[in-house]
Amino acid sequence: MPEALYQIRGLTKRYGTRTVLEDLDFDIYRGECLVILGRSGSGKSVTLRQLNGLEKPEAGSVELDGTDLTRLSERELFPIRRRIAMLFQGGALFDSMNVFDNVAFPLREHTEKPEAEIAETVRHKLSQVRLKDKDVEPKMPSDLSGGMKKRVALARSLALDPEVVLFDEPTTGLDPITSATIGKLMSSIQKDLGVTSVVVTHDIPLARRVGDRIALLADGRFCFLGSWAEAEDSNDPRLRDFLAGREEDEENAA
């Protein structure tokens, strides 16, 4: 049995009267890549936001190495968040900074490295997401395409060599070739650096490539959580529909 890095128990999150996550229990193992699938609006992004304490749940606990994040204050969460990188669904690049400064931000914030070394790291991270071109560095986020923003955000999230990465749709809006590169990068940081990752995606080829286990979120819970082999054997209709890309109603009618 692999060792659990995260232990999530009874996680419940509501917005007003709408319950998005209900009594969710799961573990995330050290060094694994857990892929979260689910329909739009099912609460995937909300789940990720619990894993670095950006939002507090109404009930339940999120333990990382035995520390319950839900009980920590914002200040107490800071040292923990340095170990956890997050890629936001919309990129969330800082509008007021150019590409270079965006990627350099976490380095300047949390390391004492001299500028020359920072520049080297920034270039390396940008080249990892296929942004080698030097004239991309001074560009402002508003001048980038959607896919480029995603990749800059990815580079920024990896700048500090995190232990845990939380990726919200890393390949949405990217062409298949760039997606494949990102997939390769994600596998390599996991295999080579032992990074634990949680990936929300609709990209099934990516999920197959990087996912050690997959989870399907529906009605506030995981209706499936297991390895790909188990997923193939599962006869949960929602999972089968999801992987086959079928409409639910079709199945129900049959």
Partner 1 sequence: MKPRDIAARTGDLGILTARAFLAMIAPPYEIGEWVRQMEQIGVRSLGVAGITTIFTGMVLALQTALSLPTLGIKYYIGSVVSKSLVRELGPVLTALIVGGRIGAGMTAEIGTMKVTEQIDALRSMAADPVKKLVAPKLVATLVMLPALTVIGDALGILGGLIVATGTLNLTPGLYLNDVWDTLKLGDVFSGVAKSFFFAYFIAIIGCHNGLHTTGGADGVGRATTNTVVLAAILVLVSDFFLTKLFYILFST
Ligand X SMILES: Nc1ncnc2c1ncn2[C@@H]1O[C@H](COP(=O)(O)OP(=O)(O)OP(=O)(O)O)[C@@H](O)[C@H]1O
Say whether residue 181 binds ligand X (CB under 6 A).
no
Closest residue to Mg ion using C-beta atoms: 45
Q: Which does 38 bind (CB under 5 to 8 A by kind): Mg ion, partner 1, ligand X, none?
A: ligand X
Cα atoms in the 13 Å half-sphere on the side-chain side of 3: 7
Cβ pair 137, 98 in contact under 8 A: yes
170 binds ligand X, rule: CB under 6 A: no
Residues 1-20 that bind ligand X (CB under 6 A): 15, 20
Query: Quick one: tokens of 10?
Result: 């009874």
Nearest C-alpha neighbor of 151 from the set 133, 163, 162: 133
Q: Report if residue 112 touches partner 1, rule: CB under 8 A.
A: no
Residue 89 binding ligand X, by CB under 6 A:
yes
Looking at 2, 10, 90, 194, which residue binds partner 1 (CB under 8 A)?
90
Cβ neighbour number for residue 6 with a 10 Å cutoff: 20
CB of 52 to partner 1, least distance (A): 6
> Looking at beta carbons only, is 38 or 170 nearer to ligand X?
38
Residue 57 vs 128, nearer CB to ligand X: 57
SS (H, E, C) 80-141: HHCCEEEECCCCCCCCCCCHHHHHHHHHHHHCCCCHHHHHHHHHHHHHHCCCCCHHHCCCCH
Cα(47)–Cα(220) distance, integer angstroms: 10
Q: What spatial distance separates the first Cα and last Cα of the chain, rounded to whole Å?
A: 40
Cα 71 to the center of its chain, rounded Å: 22
70 binds ligand X (CB under 6 A): no
* Interacting residue with partner 1 among 10, 25, 65, 110 (CB under 8 A): 110
Q: Exactly one of 26, 33, 37, 42 binds ligand X (CB under 6 A); which one?
A: 42
Span of 40-48, 78-86, 205-213, 234-242 interacting with ligand X by CB under 6 A: 40-48
Among 11, 28, 45, 239, binds Mg ion (CB under 5 A): 45
The contact set with ligand X (CB under 6 A) reads 15, 20, 38, 40-46, 89
